[in-house]
C-alpha cells in the first residue's frame, strides 16, 4: 500500500516566552493527533519526539 507522509508546520499564537509556549503547543499537537485518529480510523499517526523528550515538562 502506498505511504503518504505529511509534515505539519503550525504557528502558535499568542507569542509568549518559549517556556510558557511549550505546554500549550504540546497539548495542541496531541489534540490534532486525536482528531486525525478519530476522523480517519484507518490512519496511523506517528508522534516523533526530539531528543527523547516531549516539548513540555508536564
The predicted-structure confidence for 2-56, as pLDDT tens digits, reads as follows: 777 777 777 778 888 888 888 888 888 899 899 999 999 998 888 877 765 555 5
Q: Distances in Å between the alpha carbon of 57 and those of 35, 40, 49, 51? A: 23, 29, 13, 13
- For the chain, the straight-line distance linking the first and the last C-alpha, in angstroms and rounded, comes to 37
Q: Is the pTM of this model over 0.75?
A: no
Instruction: Kindly tell me if the per-residue pLDDT of 58 is higher than 60.
Output: no
CB 36 within 8 A of CB 45: yes
Nearest 5°: the CA angle 51, 21, 37 is 70
- What does the DSSP assignment read for 13-35? SS---HHHHHHHHHHHHHHHHHH
The predicted pLDDT at position 53 comes to 56
Amino acid at each position: 500500500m502506498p505511504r503518504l507522509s505529511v509534515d505539519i508546520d503550525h504557528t502558535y499564537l499568542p507569542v509568549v516566552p518559549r517556556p510558557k509556549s511549550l505546554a500549550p503547543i504540546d497539548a495542541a499537537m496531541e489534540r490534532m493527533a486525536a482528531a486525525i485518529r478519530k476522523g480517519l480510523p484507518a490512519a496511523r499517526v506517528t508522534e516523533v519526539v526530539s531528543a527523547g523528550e516531549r516539548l513540555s515538562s508536564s
